[in-house]
Chain A
Amino acid sequence: DSGVTQTPKHLITATGQRVTLRCSPRSGDLSVYWYQQSLDQGLQFLIHYYNGEERAKGNILERFSAQQFPDLHSELNLSSLELGDSALYFCASSVTHMYGGAQETQYFGPGTRLLVL
C-alpha cells in the first residue's frame, strides 16, 4: 500500500458525459501528479500540482482539468468524454524539495479504471 488513495476504482459512463476522479496523496506529500495509461500503452503525464498550484502540464486535453485543494487532495475532471478516453488514470504523490533527490520518488495510487461506452 503506497498510502495514495484514489476513488472510484471503476467508472463506467457514456460518451459526452463528465466525470470527476479523486486522489488523496500520502501524508506529508505536497505534490500530486495525474497520469493516463491506455491499454498496453505507456504512462502519459497529464498534470502536476504542488501545494495547490499548477506546476507543469503534459499531454492534457482541453476537455480535462484538474485542481488541488487546500487539504492537498486533488480532482481530475474529464468532460465531453469520448471512447478513446477509456483508460487507467493514476494519481501519484511526492514530497517535492527544491533540489530533488530521492524524496522526489513518486508513489502511485491504485488507479481509476474508466470505461466510456
Chain B
Amino acid sequence: GQNIDQPTEMTATEGAIVQINCTYQTSGFNGLFWYQQHAGEAPTFLSYNVLDGLEEKGRFSSFLSRSKGYSYLLLKELQMKDSASYLCAVRDWNADSNYQLIWGAGTKLIIKP
C-alpha cells in the first residue's frame, strides 16, 4: 500500500539546526516534495527530489534515499518565522497509469527563542 510517516511535532531553538524525517512506502515512486505551511495559510513549495542525494537551497536542504524510502528536510540557522508545518508528499504511479501525490500528515515545527 501507500504510506507516508512524519513526526507529528518537533521543537527546536532559534539559530539551531533541525532535521525533519519522512519515510514512505509506494509502488511507483516518481519524486518527493517538501512544502511549508504556516497556520491558516496555503502550503508553499520548498523542494523536489527524484534522485538520491542532497539538494541545497539556502538555509534549507532536502535529502532522498530511494532504496530506503527515506527523506529528510534540514533547516539551518532557524528563525522564528520557520515555525510552521512541513509536509512531505510523494508522487506515485497508480494502477490507472496516472500519477498521484500522496501527502503526509505534516510535522509541526515549533521554534523557541
**Which of A11-19, A60-68, A77-85, A103-111 has 4 or more CB atoms under 8 Å from chain B?**
A103-111
Residues of B within 8 A of A113 (CB): 40
B101 touches A106 (CB 8 A): yes
User: Interface size class for chain B?
Assistant: 20 to 34
Verify B106–A42 contact, CB threshold 8 A.
yes
B99 with A100: CB separation less than 8 A: yes
B48–A105 contact, CB under 8 A? yes
Contacts of A100 in B (CB 8 A): 30-31, 91, 99
Known contacts A100-B30, A102-B48; is A45 also within 8 Å of B42 by CB? Answer: no
Contacts of B100 in A (CB 8 A): 45, 48, 56
A108 in complex: contacting residue of B42, B105, B106, CB < 8 Å: B42
On whether the beta carbons of A104 and B31 are closer than 8 Å, the reply is: yes
- Contact indicator B48/A43 (Cβ below 8 Å): no
Check B31–A43 contact: CB distance below 8 A: no
A52 to chain B, nearest CB (A): 16
User: Does B24 sit within 8 A of A, measured CB to CB?
Assistant: no
The 0/1 profile, CB within 8 Å of B marked 1, for residues 28-46 of chain A is 0000010000000111010
Q: Which residue of A lies closest to B48 (CB)?
A: A102
Asked if B41 and A45 make an inter-chain contact with CB atoms under 8 angstroms apart, the answer reads: no
Residues of B within 8 A of A105 (CB): 33, 45, 48
Binary per-residue interface labels of chain A (84-113) against chain B in the complex, 1 for a CB within 8 Å, 0 otherwise: 000010100000000011101111111101
Give the 3 A-B residue pairs with the shortest CB-CB distance, closest first: A108-B42, A42-B105, A43-B103
| Interface residue ranges, A against B (CB under 8 Å) | 2, 33, 41-43, 45, 48, 55-56, 88, 90, 100-102, 104-111, 113
Name 12 interchain pairs, CB-CB below 8 A, sorted by A: A33-B101, A41-B105, A42-B103, A56-B94, A90-B43, A102-B31, A104-B31, A104-B91, A105-B33, A106-B45, A108-B44, A113-B40
